[in-house]
Each structure stands twice: as C-alpha cells, then as structure tokens.
Amino acid sequence: MTEMLIKAEGLSVHFTIGSGLFNKQILKAVDNVTLDIEKGSFFGLVGESGSGKTTLGRALLKAVPIAEGSAHYEDGEVSYDLQSLEGADLKDYRKRAQLIFQDPYAALSPRMTVRDIIAEPLEVMGLTKNRTETDERVREIAAKCRLNLEHLRRFPHAFSGGQRQRISIARALVSGPQFVVADESVAALDVSIQADVLNLLKQLQDELGLTFMFISHDLSVVAHTCDHVAVMYLGRLVETAPTRKLFAAPRHPYTKALFSAIPSLDPDDRGKAQKLEGEIPSPTNQPSGCKFHTRCPYAIDVCKTTEPQLETETDHEVACHRWKELMDAVPA
Ligand code: SF4
C-alpha cells in the first residue's frame, strides 16, 4: 500500500499587509490546497513567480502559520498535526523536515568554514554529544554530497556555484531529515551544473530514502526529476498528475501555456507556442471565478463567475470548466 509522508487538506496561508483600518489587506498566498506527498517520492511543484509555491513549501515545513485547513506528517516513527505542532515535537520536526535554499551564494555565511556551516544545525538542535561525533557526522554527509573532505576547512567564497549548492545540501541533510523542500535549488546554476546537482539529489533520495518537494518555475527541470507534479496558479492547485501523464497530455490551459514556453528543438513546433500573456494578478486583488480567466484564451462567461474545483479522473486532477472540450484544442 502507498504510504503518504505529507497530507494537506484545504490548506490556506494568509498574510496581512498594510496597517490601519482602511489600508489593511489580506493576501491569500495559498488558498485551499489539498495534496498528498508519497513517502520516498520526488514531488514537483511548478508555477510562475508569485503563484504561492514557496509559501506552500514553507507551510509544510511549519515555517509560516497555516490560516485554515490542515497538514499532517507521518513517517512511521512519528505522526504530527502541523497546525498544532509546538514545543519538543516542533523541535523534533525541524530535524525531520528541512529546506534547501535557492541561492547558494546568499545562503552560506562567508565568515564560517564549510565544516562549521554543515555542523551548525547539529549544534543548534543538540543532535551530537561532542565535537568528535559532530565532525564524524559532518564528514559522512559531506562525502555523500560529493564534497572533498580537504575543503571542509575552507570558506564558501573559494567554491563554484555547484560546489556551494552541494554544501547547502549537506547542511540541510546533516540532521537526517525525511522530508526535504528544495526551493528553486538549481535555478541559480548554469545548465551543465544543474544536471549534476539534480543527479546528486536523485542519488541521495535513493540512498537515504528521502522524500522531496521540488519547487521550480521550470517544467523542463521537473520532467527529468519528479514522479508527480502539481501546477499552482495564484495560490491554488490547478492540475496534478504523475509526471509522465502530465507531460503526455496536459489538461489545464495554464499548464499547456507553461509547456509551450519550453524551447523546442523541432523548428516546426516553434511557431505553435501558446504565449502566456500578461502578468500573474496580485494575490491581494484576485480575479473572481477562475483565477486564470484574465489570461486564458478559452475563458467564457462561467469562467468569470464560478471558480472551477479540482476534478479527478484516475490519478489526474484538473480545475477547469472546459478541460474536456479543450483536450484537442490547438494553441490560439
Ligand atoms: Fe480558462 Fe475557463 Fe478553464 Fe479557467 S475555467 S482555465 S478561464 S477555460
């Protein structure tokens, strides 16, 4: 039977911005999201900047408060309701759920050696008894992340982007987490280095039995890495499916537009791209009905008034009033 590590139901994250009676606004960064993340899987979360991906990842790490709905973590050893998690259980969850940052240049303190950067979570969380044990653990995880052990005494500025990201990965994994959120973790790297870091993440997933939530704006990166993909737009999930199914036959017009933005090697395909017009609307001023209707070439009257809910057909979910009739539509 499939085991789920994370289960979220109707999860929403709201931020209050501005102050005073008339300037205060509620920003719905994540709005009524339901998803399951299978244990040991590589779960992709895609969407443009401003779609709420990062906030959803942080809510699942209990790094931002959940306003509505619920999220549960269950790894066979412990079971936590993230909404009410606090005290010793929250401290324990910090060990089990970790984040790999996007920017390896900004994430690493330039004044700490690589050894101290990787060791810090062990020391802050009190996970080792003494320096010898800490050093042993640091060397073990550094080797798994393909870092040269001689380099542990150096400072981050001595390393390339790819090497720095491997240091960030080692720091995230040193506490022995089960769940890892990788937030645009290869976006700041050259394409050739991206493949190297992605291969390392896949290898670590296999070796350590990790479960990844891989956040990216780039579908082509997700294609080769993830088992399952969720597409997010303005705080809502609009489509989810196993990667193979999503890439073979995307159903939501937004997903199709994201696919069209992937450069094609076939010159005959290049003219067929469906351009994603306009900007993603502000989360403080969201459109009524389908949130994508202001940019969707297929919007009709009902799209402006009624929000479509996720419909499931086997393991493929889509939230669009017209997905069935649009299955064979050629991009406008
Ligand atoms: Fe486009 Fe309407 Fe479907 Fe929204 S519900 S994606 S506006 S066709």
Answer whether 217's CB lies under 8 Å from 47's CB: yes
- 53 and 150 in a single domain? The answer is yes
The answer to whether residue 66 is domain-embedded is: yes
One domain for residues 275 and 216 = no
Q: What secondary structure letter does DSSP report for 330?
A: P
Q: Does any domain span residue 242?
A: no
Task: Give the end of a domain, one of 231, 262, 284.
Answer: 231
Residues in the chain: 332
222 with 288, same domain: the answer is no
pLDDT at 186 (0 to 100): 82
Q: Which pLDDT belongs to residue 189? A: 82
* CA distance linking residue 145 with residue 174, whole number of Å: 10
- pLDDT of 185: 82
> Of 231, 261, 296, which one is at a domain's C-terminal end?
231
Check residue 304 and give its pLDDT.
96
Residue 237 lies in a domain: no
Looking at ligand 1, which residue's alpha carbon is closest to its atom 5? 320
Which is nearest to 256 in space by CA: 289, 312, 298?
A: 298
35 shares its domain with 93: yes
CA-nearest of 97, 6, 49, 37 to 226 is 37
Residues 61 and 202 in one domain: yes
Ligand 1 midpoint to CA 241 (Å): 18
Quick one: CA dihedral 52, 54, 60, 63, positive or negative? negative
Residue 227 CA to chain centroid, in angstroms?
Answer: 13
Grouped pLDDT means (10 residues each) for the chain, 332 residues = 92 87 83 96 94 96 96 97 95 96 79 96 95 97 95 91 92 97 86 89 96 92 92 97 95 92 58 68 89 95 96 94 84 48
Containing domain of residue 219, as a range?
Answer: 4-231
- Whole-number Å distance, alpha carbon 11 to ligand 1 midpoint, is 22
Q: How many CA atoms lie within 13 A of 61 on its CB side?
A: 25
CATH number of domain containing 168: 3.40.50.300
Residue 181 neighbours by CB under 8 Å, 6+ apart: 57, 58, 60, 61, 97, 98, 99, 100, 212, 213, 215
Instruction: Based on the fold, state whether residues 162 and 84 are members of the same structural domain.
Output: yes
- Residue 268, token pair as written in the block: 């005959």
**Which of 204, 231, 258 marks a domain boundary?**
231
Say how many domains are in the chain: 2
Task: Provide the pLDDT for residue 332.
Answer: 45
Q: How far is the CA of 294 from the centre of ligand 1 (A)?
A: 9
Q: Do 310 and 191 belong together in one domain?
A: no
Torsions phi, psi for 314 (to 5 deg): 50, -120
The SS3 call for residue 241 is: strand
The reported pLDDT for the residue numbered 282 is 84
Contact 247, 35 (CB under 8 A): no
pLDDT value at residue 269: 55
Could you tell me if 156 and 60 lie in one domain?
yes
Q: Give yes or no: residues 38 and 92 share one domain.
A: yes
Would you state the pLDDT for residue 126? 94
Distance separating alpha carbons of residues 83 and 66, to the nearest angstrom: 6
Asked if residue 116 and residue 32 are part of one domain, the reply reads yes
* Pocket perturbation via mutation, ligand 1, pick of 321, 323, 324, 326 by most ligand atoms within 8 A of CB: 321
* pLDDT of amino acid 310: 95
**What is the rounded CA–CA span in Å between residue 22 and residue 79?**
42
Q: Does residue 169 belong to any structural domain of this protein?
A: yes
Residue with the nearest Cα to atom 3 of ligand 1?
320
The answer on 258 and 221 residing in a single domain is no
In a domain, 236, yes or no: no
Answer whether 231 contacts ligand 1 (Cβ < 6 A). no
- Ligand 1 pocket: which of 303, 317, 324 to mutate (most atoms within 8 A of CB): 303
- Same domain, residue pair 19 and 159: yes
* pLDDT at residue 268 in the model: 57
